Amino acid sequence: MHEYARRLPAGIDAIAYNPGFVPGTGLARNAGPLSRFAMRRVLLVMALTPFATGRGAAGRHLADVVLGTTAAPTGSYVDRARVARSSEESYDPGRERELWDAVERFTVTHAA
């Protein structure tokens, strides 16, 4: 996000949003049998803990970011409903440029 924030034109913001663990979204639908079992049975218990976010709450938190209710400057990382510091690696300008370059290589369009 930091590299996007630096490169995008003024007035266009780039914000990373993490809804947390949101049970019932089908996240593991294409995972292997063991992972699907864990998501259905073991991690279902996590839905009862503060580590989980309900689908409605995850949507409200995202809407708050998009609408500006959660004040998040460009380049921010929002964890559920609050701006938080992202991983230390995410602040390494060399890694950020490397990622940007990789994205450009993988998404380049060729003229017909």
Question: What's the mean pLDDT in 62-88?
Answer: 95
pLDDT at residue number 47: 76
Indicate the pTM of the whole model: 0.77
**Tens-digit pLDDT profile for residues 13-43:** 999 999 998 887 877 788 888 888 877 777 7
CA atoms within 13 A on the CB side of 95: 8
pLDDT higher than 80, residue 109: no
pLDDT at residue number 41: 75
Neighbour-count burial for 18-48, b at 16+ CB within 10 Å, e otherwise = ebebbbeeeeeeeeeeeeeeebeeebeeeee
